[in-house]
A and B are shown apart, each in its own frame.
Chain A
Amino acid sequence: MAAKKFTPQPPPKKKARGPLSDFDKITMKEITACATHVLAAIRAQGKPELKFPDRSLKNARYDKKDGYFVMGRSRVERTLSVNTVKSFAQTLKMMALSQQLVDEDDFATKREAYYVSKNWDEAKFEEQPESDAAMDDIEALFSLEGVMREHLRFKADEHGGKVAGQLVVLDRDRESGRPLRIDCTGFGSGAYSIPSSVEHLGFETKAKFILVIETIGMFERLSQHNYWKTANCILIGTAGVPTRATRRFVRKLSDAHKLPVFAFNDCDPYAFSNIYRTLKVGSGNAVHLNQFFCVPNARFLGVSPQDIEDYDLPTHALKDVDIKRAQDMLKNDPFFQAHKEWQKAIEMMLKTGQRAEQQALAKHGLNFVIDEYLPKKLKEAQKFLP
């Protein structure tokens, strides 16, 4: 017997949705306006064009006063032509999908949206980075009106960071909408996971600072030994580059309770630029929304190049990519260019040609980090790198 091929059934009738929120109205208005603009140009037998903000570090301006990367005036003009017709079609298809999601009060993760495109025949995306880029383009286009990806009903697939410490997160029950109180001390050997959307969350805490930790290994060590209790802080593990939700979570939490934010990272160029700098001032790619998704008051606790010397840490030699990245940071990154302290630190690293991991502190004993390193560093918080 031949296996029956799956044939999709027509979708059930749409549930009537509640009234559009204010943000939904703006989103719908923007999508329609954009499509109307394109159609008008076509009808006039002209070439439609879309102006996207230039999403790159080149178009990022850094001002210490603002505390984050601000988008410059540079725009990428995309005129409909042979070379752009495919991405033009895809961008518009993506907008149509977004419109449909708002209309049905639904959402799609970035990966789901990528799979939805597989229905678009020749216009489908081959790889997810292509669909992500189209999404980012639309978001950037509408960001001038304050529309964000979440408003377009696209969600990140990426995990949120982990949270442990004296913090109560105020959320709502998904079904009943009743308020929920989530006590982050009560996860035992686990941890609270930051959701992909954090705008609606509230916080209660008496902690004194937030410690944002790069590696999950270090996060576990600190949380298992209840370091948060000892130091009266909130621990957040990012496992690499902090996601948008994590950045927003830290920002909201820090703003709500005036908490200082300290970053605890590896000592290498990637940790400085891609992880710490993104946390503090945002990235070039997300330059249109750094305003919300960064933590300008974050400071770099360690591990700094100076720490390698001070604590006599075991090191690895910098790889070629590390050296190239470090040089590029000095030359092109407005953030590092604005901070002499960072330039000195990077130059020192380049001079020694060495990098070190957070875990290198274990050379002096597994709990050296808890008993000696962090307390000593925290006493001199003014010395942290900006």
Chain B
Amino acid sequence: MSTSTGQQDLFATETDTMTDAKATKGAREKTAREPAARGAETAESMAKRQREISVSEFFTKNRHLLGFDSPRKALLTAVKEAVDNSLDACEEARIAPDIVVTIARIGQSEKQFTMTVEDNGPGIVKAQVPNVFGRLLYGSKFHRLRQSRGQQGIGISAAGMYGQLTTGAPVRVRTKPGKKSVPLAFEIKIDTARNRPEFKDTAIEWDKDHGTEVAIDMEGEYRRGQKSIEEFLKLMAVANPHVKLTFKDPDGNVIEYHRGTKELPKEVEEIKPHPHGVELGILLKMMAESENRTVSAFLQQDFSRVGPMVAKEICAKAGIKPETNPRRLDAAAVQKLKAAIDATKIMAPPLSCIAPIGEELILAGLKKEVEADFYVATSRRPVVYRGHPFAIEVGIAYGKPGDTLHMTDAGKIVEVATKKAENQEVLMGNADEPIRLIRFANRVPLVFQQSACAITKAVIATNWKNYGLQQPRGSLPIGPMVVFVHIASVWVPFTSESKEAIASYDEILEELRLGLMEAGRKLGKHVRKGKKLANEFKKRNYIETYIPHLVVALKDILKLDEKEAAKARESLTVVLEKSRKL
């Protein structure tokens, strides 16, 4: 039971945590305040307690912001962060990703698991390993505007810290940066007070050309069904048909998600921030860090789409001389500059930094993982919100095989036989259930907080009745359908750091609306055709019910023999079915 102490701390109820916090605070106050008289605080007494809050301390108290608020979710979040990192690394190195996710129980425990994610990526150089896995807010992605899965460099180290806090075990990493490099194994602990990694590394044997494997022991809860790891990986496979995924669950089952294409996503360009997407705080920071010595050069060099003319216009509007050193501007001047930027017409940012999945690959992903009898996809051209380019893509898989009818070339209507699904996790709901909405941001499935998400709002706001589906007021439509929505952007506006829901910017909602309508119109055609076919099938069944009776009557009256009767039956069937127009 020694490890469970940490657990209890982390998952203590709100009141418990508060008491805990008070207790420590009280103890600290006691020593600090002993000489002072009881009563009102002074600036000095308060100053004694004001100190830097370590990132790890912040994490412990705000773990829900990062997606570690329940044992079940924690396990999934850890997998998600590790897989995101692996995919980003593989794609940047132009390697077709091959990823193995393993969840294993620690001992017989149902509460502690080892999560392992292994990739065939480019590996990580020795000096960076401890920082990547043992330091929060350390990474390559926060400082640049480039479409990638991770954004802040907080994910995998947060998972490691969570593991350390709940089990006391270090993060274990194996990596090999290239064929000729020596593979190394690391054990990394995070110094939670200083946000610095402590580690030891050893050279090992690893039969692999290149790649990285991270293993984290953590408290968790393993479940199947909705919002499970299995479902997450399946969604990952839908949006990333170029990835080969293997999942080994705690009971030893192995599920493989095969590659649907060899084509890697288009390589994306990194862009500089667009002036309209920059907030005051960031502007200040950029000015302080800029290597440029004049405001004019700063505007032209550190932003996209700003040329000499535009820089001049901004400076004029702000009443700032273009030659001023940006570091010399006071806060009031920077505010003026910001207002001038917003008031100036600036060309939209380049859209080449966006790599949508593309209609073809959305279809490939859906066809690979969702059994349906109709697929449609729409990929909208990138547009801009607040200076950030983004693109919306919509895919629809409709109709369950077995529920659907098919007309053969000979004009016969047949029921399509049901194929057994290869993967256990079935995304498609029944005909009388709400549709399943699957959301993605930069190819990463969004599993939680569906109702808070702009995508959900847009799907609900779409009138699906126009496309032949039922839709209760203010709800998702009803039907055997999976709706896939993807937003690709250099900066996806999530509602929180746990990256679970997209914020409802007007520009994004509008693009979602247009994308859904475009896909919906194509769906509508199919649904109407299906309804017609179903109706026709019913009628033909009806015909086939009464033909035998008609023939028996003729046989009785005219004393036909079996052969003649069979001939009449056949001929009658042909006559009646042929007469049906479709």
Could you list which residues of chain A lie within 8 angstroms of chain B, going by C-beta atoms? 31-32, 35-36, 38-39, 42-43, 45-47, 80-82, 85-86, 88-90, 92-93, 95-96, 99-100, 120-123
Q: A89-B553, A96-B557 are in contact. Are A42 and B575 (CB under 8 A)?
A: yes
Docked complex Cα distance between A42 and B540 (Å): 17
Docked-complex contact A42 and B549, CB < 8 angstroms: no
B556 within 8 A of A: yes
Nearest Cβ distance between residue B412 and chain A, in whole angstroms?
16
CB-CB under 8 A from A123, the residues of chain B are 546, 549
B545 within 8 A of A: yes
CB-CB under 8 A from B24, the residues of chain A are none
Docked complex Cα distance between A43 and B560 (Å): 13
B93 within 8 A of A: no
Nearest Cβ distance between residue A71 and chain B, in whole angstroms?
26
Docked complex Cα distance between A3 and B491 (Å): 80
Q: A39-B568, A92-B550 are in contact. Are A85 and B576 (CB under 8 A)?
A: yes
* Mask: chain B, 541-561; 1 = CB below 8 Å from A; 0 = not: 011011101101110111010
> Size band of the B side of the interface?
20 to 34
Nearest Cβ distance between residue B521 and chain A, in whole angstroms?
31
Docked-complex contact B574 and A45, CB < 8 angstroms: yes
- B539, B558, B579, B580: the one contacting A39 at CB < 8 Å is B558
The winner among B539, B546, B560, B580 for most chain A CB atoms within 10 A is B546
- A32, A42, A45: the one contacting B557 at CB < 8 Å is A32
Docked-complex contact A32 and B558, CB < 8 angstroms: yes
- B549, B568, B571: the one contacting A89 at CB < 8 Å is B549
CB-CB under 8 A from A122, the residues of chain B are 545-546, 549
B572 within 8 A of A: yes
CB-CB under 8 A from A47, the residues of chain B are 575, 579
Q: A81-B579, A90-B549 are in contact. List 19 more A-B contacts (CB 8 A).
A: A32-B558, A35-B554, A35-B557, A36-B558, A38-B554, A39-B554, A39-B558, A39-B568, A42-B572, A42-B575, A43-B568, A45-B574, A45-B575, A86-B546, A88-B546, A89-B546, A89-B553, A122-B549, A123-B549
Docked complex Cα distance between A85 and B317 (Å): 83
CB-CB under 8 A from B540, the residues of chain A are 82
5 contacts between A and B (CB under 8 A): A39-B554, A85-B550, A89-B546, A89-B553, A96-B556
Q: A35-B558, A82-B543 are in contact. Are A92 and B553 (CB under 8 A)?
A: yes
Main secondary structure of the interface of B (DSSP, over half): helix
Docked-complex contact B576 and A43, CB < 8 angstroms: no
Nearest Cβ distance between residue A152 and chain B, in whole angstroms?
13
- B546, B552, B556, B571: the one contacting A42 at CB < 8 Å is B571
Q: How many A-B residue pairs have CB under 8 A?
A: 74
CB-CB under 8 A from B575, the residues of chain A are 42, 45-47, 80
* Mask: chain B, 501-545; 1 = CB below 8 Å from A; 0 = not: 000000000000000000000000000000000000001101101
Docked-complex contact A92 and B579, CB < 8 angstroms: no
Can you name the residue of chain A whose Cβ is closest to the Cβ of B545?
Answer: A122
Docked-complex contact A81 and B557, CB < 8 angstroms: no
Nearest Cβ distance between residue B529 and chain A, in whole angstroms?
19
Docked complex Cα distance between A55 and B540 (Å): 30
Docked complex Cα distance between A52 and B556 (Å): 22
Docked-complex contact A95 and B553, CB < 8 angstroms: yes
Q: A39-B568, A45-B574, A122-B546 are in contact. Are A82 and B554 (CB under 8 A)?
A: no
Docked complex Cα distance between A92 and B580 (Å): 23
Docked complex Cα distance between A100 and B539 (Å): 32
Docked complex Cα distance between A96 and B580 (Å): 29
Docked-complex contact B542 and A85, CB < 8 angstroms: yes
Docked complex Cα distance between A45 and B574 (Å): 8
Docked complex Cα distance between A88 and B545 (Å): 12
Docked-complex contact B542 and A31, CB < 8 angstroms: no
Nearest Cβ distance between residue A89 and chain B, in whole angstroms?
4
CB-CB under 8 A from B580, the residues of chain A are 82
- A31, A35, A80, A100: the one contacting B576 at CB < 8 Å is A80
Docked-complex contact B543 and A85, CB < 8 angstroms: yes
Docked complex Cα distance between A95 and B572 (Å): 19
Q: A85-B546, A89-B546 are in contact. Are A99 and B556 (CB under 8 A)?
A: yes
Docked-complex contact A93 and B579, CB < 8 angstroms: no
Docked complex Cα distance between A35 and B576 (Å): 18
Docked-complex contact A81 and B553, CB < 8 angstroms: no
Nearest Cβ distance between residue B543 and chain A, in whole angstroms?
5
Docked complex Cα distance between A46 and B571 (Å): 9
Nearest Cβ distance between residue A138 and chain B, in whole angstroms?
12
Can you name the residue of chain A whose Cβ is closest to the Cβ of B557?
Answer: A35
- A82, A95, A120: the one contacting B542 at CB < 8 Å is A82
Docked complex Cα distance between A31 and B556 (Å): 11
Docked complex Cα distance between A35 and B549 (Å): 13
Nearest Cβ distance between residue A347 and chain B, in whole angstroms?
49
Can you name the residue of chain A whose Cβ is closest to the Cβ of B539?
Answer: A82
Docked complex Cα distance between A107 and B5 (Å): 94
CB-CB under 8 A from A43, the residues of chain B are 567-568, 571
CB-CB under 8 A from A81, the residues of chain B are 576, 579
CB-CB under 8 A from A36, the residues of chain B are 558
- B543, B546, B557, B568: the one contacting A99 at CB < 8 Å is B557
Docked complex Cα distance between A47 and B576 (Å): 8
Nearest Cβ distance between residue A134 and chain B, in whole angstroms?
12
Docked-complex contact B568 and A93, CB < 8 angstroms: no
Docked complex Cα distance between A88 and B572 (Å): 12
CB-CB under 8 A from A80, the residues of chain B are 575-576
CB-CB under 8 A from A46, the residues of chain B are 575
Docked complex Cα distance between A36 and B560 (Å): 11
CB-CB under 8 A from B552, the residues of chain A are 93
Nearest Cβ distance between residue B253 and chain A, in whole angstroms?
48
CB-CB under 8 A from A89, the residues of chain B are 546-547, 549-550, 553
* Mask: chain B, 199-227; 1 = CB below 8 Å from A; 0 = not: 00000000000000000000000000000
Nearest Cβ distance between residue B100 and chain A, in whole angstroms?
57
Docked-complex contact B571 and A82, CB < 8 angstroms: no
CB-CB under 8 A from B543, the residues of chain A are 82, 85
Docked complex Cα distance between A92 and B558 (Å): 11
Nearest Cβ distance between residue B566 and chain A, in whole angstroms?
12
The winner among B540, B547, B557, B575 for most chain A CB atoms within 10 A is B557
CB-CB under 8 A from A42, the residues of chain B are 568, 571-572, 575
Q: A46-B575, A81-B579 are in contact. Are A120 and B549 (CB under 8 A)?
A: yes
Can you name the residue of chain B whose Cβ is closest to the Cβ of A90?
Answer: B549
CB-CB under 8 A from B553, the residues of chain A are 35, 89, 92-93, 95-96
CB-CB under 8 A from B556, the residues of chain A are 96, 99-100
CB-CB under 8 A from B545, the residues of chain A are 122
- A45, A92, A100, A120: the one contacting B554 at CB < 8 Å is A92
CB-CB under 8 A from A93, the residues of chain B are 549, 552-553
Can you name the residue of chain B whose Cβ is closest to the Cβ of A84?
Answer: B546
CB-CB under 8 A from A92, the residues of chain B are 550, 553-554, 557
